[in-house]
C-alpha cells in the first residue's frame, strides 16, 4: 500500500497495523555446515538442504520497554555459525539482497555489544547513556527498506553503538551520522576507526534537525520514531531520495515507513512493518 503525503501533511499518523584450538571432527563438520549456509545466503545456491529452524518471527521488539533488554545468555562457541544462521533467517523472511547480506556479515557484531550478551538477540541491548541498541533483525529490515546504493550519501539519525553505521558504510559512498549523546558518538568513532572504516562522519548534535549543511541526501534513516515524518528531514532529501523511519505515537501503534521524495517534491509513503521504537528527542543531551 502506498500513500501520497503532501508537504503540508507530514504530521499524519501512520496507519494501524498489526574454537578453541584443537578442533574435533565434530567441530570440523560444523564448519563445513556453516560454509554451506554462507554459500546459500550470499550466492543463492548450495549443496542440498540445511536443517536450521529459525526462532519464531515476532513483531519487531520494543526498544523503550524494560522487557526489551535481554538478559545475558550463553554465547555460541562458533560466531560464524551465528551470523550464518542469522542471515539464513533473514533470507527466509524475504531479506535477500546480497550486498546487504555481505555488509551484515562483514560488520563484526561483537565489537558493538558487551561480551556477555548474545550478538543476534531479537531484543534491544542496554548501552551507554541509558539507551537501548536496535536489534540486528530490525537493523536489517530498516536497511532493506532503505536500499542504499554505492554512490549514495546517507544521513543517519541516532548513531548509537555505531553498528548500523558500520553496515551502512559498506553499502554507500559516505555516511553522515548524528547523535545527541557525546559519549555515544565518541565510542562509535573509536569502534569504526578500529575497523578501518573511513567513509563515516560522526558528530554530536541535534539529529532531529538533520544536517542542513550537508544536504541534500540520497538516503536518510532513523531508528527513532516520530508522530509524523519530520518536515525538516523530508526537505533534506534530494528528488528521488528515500527516508526510512518508524512513524506513530510514542505509546501507540507505530509503522516502519519508507518515504520517497518525487521529482515534483511530493512524498510517497509505503508502510513496511509494525515496529516499536523510542521517540526522537530534539536537542543535544546536556550531560553524557
What was the pLDDT predicted at 262?
A: 94
Q: What grid cell was written down for 85? A: 544462521
Which is more confidently placed, 29 or 79?
79
Judge contact between 248 and 276, C-beta under 8 A: no
pLDDT tens readout for residues 2-47 = 555 544 344 444 344 334 444 343 333 334 434 444 454 444 443 3
Check pLDDT > 80 for residue 63: no
Confidence of residue 66 (pLDDT cuts 50, 70, 90): very low
The arithmetic mean of pLDDT across residues 139-150, rounded, is 97
What was the pLDDT predicted at 18?
A: 39
Check pLDDT > 90 for residue 88: yes
Most confident of 52-66, 76-90, 136-150, 269-283: 136-150
Torsion of CA 274, 278, 284, 285, to 10 degrees: -160
* Rounded distance between C-alpha atoms, residue 263 and residue 16, angstroms: 28
Check pLDDT > 80 for residue 50: no
pLDDT tens readout for residues 178-237 = 999 999 999 999 999 999 999 999 999 999 899 999 999 999 999 899 999 999 999 999
pLDDT tens readout for residues 147-171 = 999 999 999 999 999 999 999 999 9
What was the pLDDT predicted at 59?
A: 39
Q: Coil, strand or helix: which one is 132?
A: strand
Query: From residue 109, how far is each of 92, 113, 121, 161, 163 by CA, in Å?
Result: 21, 7, 11, 10, 7
Segments of the chain assigned E as strands: 3-5, 153-157, 174-179, 200-204, 217-222, 237-247, 255-261, 267-274
Judge contact between 80 and 34, C-beta under 8 A: yes
Q: Coil, strand or helix: which one is 236?
A: coil
Q: What percent of the chain lies above the pLDDT cut of 90? A: 57
Give the number of other Cβ atoms within 10 Å of residue 202's Cβ.
20
What was the pLDDT predicted at 3?
A: 54
pLDDT tens readout for residues 90-110 = 999 999 999 999 999 999 999
Which is more confidently placed, 282 or 181?
181
What was the pLDDT predicted at 188?
A: 97
Confidence of residue 123 (pLDDT cuts 50, 70, 90): confident
What was the pLDDT predicted at 111?
A: 94
Domain topology for 3-8+29-48+55-274: Rossmann fold (3.40.50)
pLDDT tens readout for residues 247-280 = 999 888 999 999 999 999 899 999 999 998 888 8
Amino acid at each position: 500500500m502506498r500513500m501520497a503525503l503532501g508537504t503540508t501533511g507530514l504530521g499524519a499518523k501512520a496507519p494501524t497495523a498489526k574454537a578453541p584450538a584443537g578442533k574435533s571432527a565434530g567441530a570440523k563438520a560444523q564448519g563445513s555446515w556453516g560454509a554451506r549456509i554462507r554459500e546459500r545466503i550470499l550466492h543463492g545456491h548450495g549443496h542440498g538442504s540445511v536443517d536450521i529452524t529459525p526462532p519464531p518471527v515476532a513483531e519487531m521488539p520494543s526498544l523503550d520497554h524494560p522487557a526489551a533488554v535481554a538478559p545475558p545468555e550463553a554465547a555460541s562457541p562458533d560466531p560464524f555459525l551465528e551470523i550464518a544462521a542469522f542471515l539464513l533467517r533473514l533470507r527466509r523472511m524475504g531479506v535477500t539482497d546480497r550486498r546487504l547480506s555481505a555488509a551484515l556479515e562483514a560488520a563484526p557484531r561483537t565489537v558493538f555489544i558487551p561480551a556477555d550478551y548474545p550478538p543476534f538477540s531479537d531484543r534491544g541491548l542496554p548501552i551507554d547513556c541509558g539507551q537501548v541498541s536496535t536489534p540486528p533483525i530490525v537493523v536489517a529490515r530498516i536497511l532493506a527498506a532503505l536500499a542504499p546504493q554505492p554512490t549514495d550519501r546517507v544521513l543517519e539519525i541516532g548513531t548509537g553503538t555505531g553498528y548500523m553505521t558500520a553496515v551502512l558504510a559498506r553499502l554507500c559512498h559516505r555516511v553522515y551520522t548524528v547523535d545527541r549523546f557525546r559519549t555515544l558518538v565518541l565510542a562509535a568513532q573509536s569502534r569504526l576507526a578500529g575497523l578501518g572504516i573511513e567513509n563515516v562522519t560522526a558528530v554530536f548534535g541535534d539529529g532531529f534537525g538533520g544536517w542542513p549543511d550537508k544536504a541534500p541526501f540520497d538516503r536518510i534513516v532513523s531508528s527513532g520514531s516520530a508522530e509524523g515524518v519530520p518536515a525538516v528531514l523530508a526537505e533534506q532529501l534530494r528528488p528521488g531520495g528515500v527516508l526510512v523511519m518508524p512513524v506513530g505515537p510514542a505509546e501507540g501503534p507505530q509503522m516502519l515507513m519508507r518515504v520517497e521524495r518525487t521529482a515534483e517534491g511530493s512524498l510517497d509513503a509505503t508502510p513496511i512493518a509494525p515496529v516499536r521504537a523510542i521517540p526522537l528527542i530534539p536537542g543535544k543531551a546536556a550531560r553524557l
